[in-house]
Structures are given as C-alpha cells and as structure tokens.
Amino acid sequence: MKIEKRQVDGKPLTVIVEYPEWNRSVDDLVKKIGRMDMSFVAKNDDGSIKISILDIYYIENVERKLFVYTKGDCFRLDGSMNDIESRAFDLGLVRISRTCIMNIEHLKEIRQIRNSHLEAVMDNDEKLIVSRKYLGDIKKAFKREGV
Amino acid sequence: MKKILRDTCILSALTILSVFAVSILWMGVTDEIRLVLELFGLSFIISVVNYLLDEFVSLPIIGSYILRYFAVTGIVMLFGFIAGWFYRSNFWMAFIYVGIVFVLAYLLDAVKIKRDVDFINRKIKERA
C-alpha cells in the first residue's frame, strides 16, 4: 500500500482511497477512516458537544435515558439504543447487554468470572457486565474488523 | 460441523411438519401426529420463555441455568399434565428429562463461551 500526503490550503481534510478492486481490506480501511469522522451530538450542563466515536467508551440506557461515557466524562444523548446500534454497528459499537453498547476499540479484555458474569475490562480499567447472549455479537465485530 | 448439525435439525423439523401436514389431510390427527405437534408447541413456548429470560433477567451464569431449569421443568410439567403425558405419580420424570437436556446444554454453552472469550482476547492482543 502506498501512502501519499499533501497539504492543500483552503480545503477540508480529504482522504482519497484508490484501489484496483474493492475487497475486504479496502472495505475495512474505508470503515476505519469513516469511524474517525463519525460523531454524536451529546449534552451536558454546559450545552451541546460533539463527541467523536473514537472517544466513546460505552453508551448506557438508564431509565430510558441514554448516557454516553468517554474516558472520564458522561453526557446525555438523544435517540434510542436501537438507533445507535444500527448506525454504528459497523464502526465498533456493539451491544453487550440490554442496556449497554460498548466501543470495542477501547476493550482491553473479556473476563469470565467462574460460574458468574462475563466482564468487559476497558482500557481505562472500567468494568462492564457482558450478557452471554451478546458475546457472539462481540466476536462477530472482531471477525468483521479483521484485526 | 455445527452448521451441518443445525441445518440437519431444521430440515428434519420441516420434513416432519410437511409429511404430517399431508398425513393430517389424509387421516386426520392420529396419536403420533398429536404427540409430535405437542412437542413442537412445547418447544415454541420454551423458546419464547428463554428469549424473555435472556432479554429481561440478568443473573450469574449458574443462577441463570438454575432459573431456566425450574422454569422449563414447570412448563414441561404443566404442558405434560394438560397433554396427558404424565400421571400424578410420575410427574417427577419431568425433572429428569429436563435435567439431562440442561446438563448437556450447560456443558456445550460453557465450552462455547470459553472459546468465544479466548477468540476475542486473542484478537485484542493481536490488535495491540
């Protein structure tokens, strides 16, 4: 793969992908680039803020309200779990329980507590409960990423 | 292999239903056909209950299996009494039938979970 960079004044950041034929690697590359640009508009006490999908650790539904968690902050989000899941499933946001969607980019490890819950450990050492039912979806997301 | 087994089960179920549908038209509902239809009905109810438990109950793995065991045994007993499968004296057989299925399901599930967790952790390490 050849990487070319050039500065062009007065234009937004533009990425051009040239490929001989569309294949899985190209698809993964385009998705990864797209992920860097996707963001959600969330709210906190100071007003609205744009949060890049890369900064999102997980999204939680608490009493029918959505909250998005970054490394150290929490914001309110409009929409529903299903909306977010369908918009961002290809981009690494995967449902891990009925009330939680996790960004696999920040996943450090999945732990199986003997005869008990499954636990996702994030790279900020926060722990999330993973429902067995959704373990297959996390696996699929990693397969799709082709890491 | 897993896909072949699953497809075999689905194909068998469809074949049984198709053959019995034709038989019902010719001979009506015989005892054998009624038993098979009752088993399909029971499987449907158990699948719905399993889905609801998955969706709305969050328990540790062992707790989840114990809850499912009693829920499914209860359904099998109730269904069995209505369908006339059990006599009052041998209702405890439901615990054994369901227990055997559950032990197998638990073992298969445990192996699958371990494999999935190992796969995910390996992918995370490769990514790092």
Chunked in runs of 10, what are the mean pLDDT values of chain A (147 residues)? 87 89 88 78 86 90 91 88 78 88 93 81 92 89 73
Cα-based distances in Å from A140 to A90, A99, B12, B117, B120? 10, 19, 28, 12, 9
A118 belongs to a structural domain: yes
A110 touches chain B (CB under 8 A): yes
Q: Which of A142, A143, A144, A145 to mutate to test the interface with B (most CBs of B within 10 A)?
A: A142
Note the pTM of the prediction, 2 decimals: 0.71
- Residue A9 in tokens: 């004044």
CB pair distance less than 8 Å for B124 and A109: yes
B63 belongs to a structural domain: yes
| Cβ neighbours, 10 Å, residue A97 | 20
- Single-letter amino acid, residue A106: H
Rounded Cα gap, residues B88 and B90, in angstroms: 6
Task: Supply the mean pLDDT for chain B.
Answer: 86
Query: Domain tally for chain B?
Result: 2
ipTM of the complex: 0.77
> Do B61 and B27 fall within a single domain?
no
B116 touches chain A (CB under 8 A): yes
Rounded Cα gap, residues A44 and A67, in angstroms: 10
Q: For residue B95, what pLDDT is reported?
A: 85
> Do B14 and B63 fall within a single domain?
no
CB pair distance less than 8 Å for A109 and B126: no
- Compute the radius of gyration of chain A from its Cα atoms: 17
B55 touches chain A (CB under 8 A): yes
Work out the minimum CA distance from B71 to partner chain A, whole angstroms.
Answer: 18
The domain containing residue B128 runs over which residues? 57-128
> Do B86 and B117 fall within a single domain?
yes
Option in B58, B60, B124 nearest A107 (CB): B124
Rounded Cα gap, residues A102 and A85, in angstroms: 10
Option in B58, B62, B126 nearest A131 (CB): B58
Taking CA–CA distances from A121, the nearest residue in chain B reads B121
State the average pLDDT over residues B13-35: 88
Q: For residue A87, what pLDDT is reported?
A: 75
CB pair distance less than 8 Å for A135 and B116: yes
Q: For residue A115, what pLDDT is reported?
A: 63
Rounded Cα gap, residues A87 and A13, in angstroms: 23
> Do B74 and B128 fall within a single domain?
yes
Option in A97, A135, A139 nearest B58 (CB): A97
Q: Which of A108, A106, A102, A105 is nearest to A130 (CA)?
A: A102
Query: Domain tally for chain A?
Result: 1
Tell me, what CATH number does A39's domain have? 2.40.50.1020
CB pair distance less than 8 Å for A98 and B58: yes
Q: Residue A113: its chain B contacts at CB < 8 A?
A: 60
Alpha helices in A8-134 (DSSP H): 24-37, 81-88
| Cβ neighbours, 10 Å, residue A38 | 16
B69 belongs to a structural domain: yes
A118 touches chain B (CB under 8 A): yes
Report the share of chain B in percent with pLDDT over 70.
100
B65: phi then psi, degrees, rounded to nearest 5 = -70, -40
A62 belongs to a structural domain: yes
Rounded Cα gap, residues A132 and B112, in angstroms: 10
CB pair distance less than 8 Å for B123 and A136: no
Rounded Cα gap, residues A22 and B65, in angstroms: 46
Q: For residue B127, what pLDDT is reported?
A: 81
Q: Which of A97, A113, A139 to mutate to test the interface with B (most CBs of B within 10 A)?
A: A139
Rounded Cα gap, residues A92 and A121, in angstroms: 16
A85 belongs to a structural domain: yes
Rounded Cα gap, residues B32 and B37, in angstroms: 9
Dump pLDDT digits (tens) for B67-119: 889 998 999 888 888 888 877 777 778 888 889 988 888 888 888 889 999 99
Answer with the residue of higher pLDDT: B128 or A46: A46
The domain containing residue A31 runs over which residues? 24-145
**DSSP assignment letter at A116:** S
B64 belongs to a structural domain: yes
